[in-house]
Amino acid sequence: MISLLAAGVLSPFFLEVAPEVRTTYVSLGKLVEDRPMQMTFARVGCDAGGFGRFGIRSWSVSSLTDRRQNAHRHAFYHVEFGPTWQYSFDIADGWRVASELTRSWTLYRGFDRQSANRTYHWWEVNQSLENQYLVPYYRFRCCFRGSEYLWFRVGLRRRFPIFGGLYATPSVYADGGDPRNSRRVFGEAPDGCRWRAGVSSVTFRLELGWKVCESMTAFAFVEQYEIVGGDERRATDVSSYRCSRSDWTLGGMGMRFSF
């Protein structure tokens, strides 16, 4: 009786946590750091049935080296958090549209330069067409305070079961945005040109995973990052920033927990 009562009380709530380590940090289509970083995603909330899932998400970045100790602290110098709403609806047998709306704040703290200790406010929409074949998806972000830019990601992925809980998921996605996003990511346009809206980089990804049980998955991945915009490549090639790269191979591993 007690177990049934506890299940009835706890069943609407959920918790998702995904810690991972990456050899490189790429943010919004820009290679920010070419040394190992640790990232943690978490979401907690309540499943409201036909009204969707309401929750709070967070995402944080911590450095695993001393390379940038003269610029900022190691742990949690980049933290995002905010409320989310997820909603899915079936459109055919085995096909559904999954959506998520997020209102978030990005906090940069622990920087030696006070001007870098800033807070960004943004809205983000994620949608994907879930099916057993090829899944298209997009992500659209509008930052409106602290900085102003529009950023997007569009991609395709497919999961291939191997055996048991093992799987492989190849995917490809493109990052881009409006001219304000390009200026923020790559600096001033080269040769006196003006930035144009569009795709700036393409990334190819291969993830290998093992679903240990219903609530835990282990995974590892490798990615190939390529700047495809001509002006973006020229701006990167002449940049004095030590992590500016037009092409880069990176990888990582982590765990996903869902309760």
User: Average pLDDT over the chain, rounded to whole?
Assistant: 90
- Give the domain ranges of the chain: 13-258
Give the mean model confidence (pLDDT) for residues 215-234: 94
Cα distance between residue 178 and residue 156, in whole Å: 22
- When pLDDT is cut at 50, 70 and 90, the band that residue 5 belongs to is very low
Instruction: Pull the structure tokens for residue 213.
Output: 């049980």
Q: Can you identify the CATH homologous superfamily of domain 13-258? A: monomeric porin ompg (2.40.160.40)
Residues in the chain: 259
Q: Which 3 state secondary structure label does DSSP give 103?
A: strand
Apex CA 144: angle with CA 138 and CA 147, to 5°?
A: 100
* pTM of this prediction exceeds 0.85: yes
Amino acid at 125: V
Q: What is the per-residue pLDDT across 97-135, written as a single tens digit (0 to 9) for each? A: 999 999 999 998 887 777 778 899 999 999 999 999 999
Give the mean model confidence (pLDDT) for residues 192-201: 89
Q: What is the per-residue pLDDT across 33-55, written as a single tens digit (0 to 9) for each? A: 889 999 999 999 999 988 999 99
Residue 1 has pLDDT above 80, yes or no: no
Residue 250's pLDDT is 96
Instruction: Pull the structure tokens for residue 117.
Output: 């200790």
| Residues whose CB is less than 8 angstroms from the CB of residue 20 and which lie 6 or more positions away in sequence, other chains included | 38, 39, 40, 252, 253, 254, 255
Q: Of 252, 198, 187, nearest to 225 (Cα)?
A: 252
Q: Of 4, 6, 71, nearest to 33 (Cα)?
A: 71
